[in-house]
Amino acid sequence: MTAITAEMVRKLREETGAGMMECKSALVESQGDAEKARELLRKKGLAAAAKKAGRSASEGLVHAYIHPGGRVGVLVEVNCETDFVARNPDFQALVKDIAMHIAAGSPAVPLYVSKDEVPADVLDKEREIYKAQAAAAGKPANVQEKIAEGKLKEYYQSFCLLEQPFIKEPKQTVGQLVQEKIALIKENMVVRRFVRFKLGDAAGQPAGDEQ
**Residues 88, 81: Cα–Cα separation, whole Å:** 12
Per-residue pLDDT of the chain (211 residues; tens, 9 = 90+): 578 888 888 887 777 666 677 788 888 888 888 888 878 877 766 555 555 556 667 899 999 999 999 999 999 999 999 999 999 999 999 999 999 999 999 889 999 999 999 999 999 999 999 999 999 988 888 898 899 989 999 999 999 999 999 999 998 999 989 988 888 888 889 999 999 999 988 766 678 775 4
In sequence order, the 6+-apart residues with CB closer than 8 A to the CB of 56 are 81, 188
Can you give the pLDDT at residue 72?
A: 94
Domains in the chain (CATH in brackets) are 6-51 (1.10.8.10), 59-113+160-208 (3.30.479.20), 119-157 (1.10.286.20)
Q: How far apart are CA 33 and CA 172, in angstroms?
A: 21
Note the pLDDT of residue 211: 46
Q: Which residues pair with 200 in a beta bridge?
A: none
Amino acid identity, position 167: I
Residue 4: what pLDDT? 86
Helix (H, G, I), strand (E, B) or coil at 112: strand
pLDDT of residue 185: 86
**Model pLDDT, residue 40:** 80
pTM: 0.73
Q: What is the CA radius of gyration of the chain?
A: 20
Residue type, 196: R
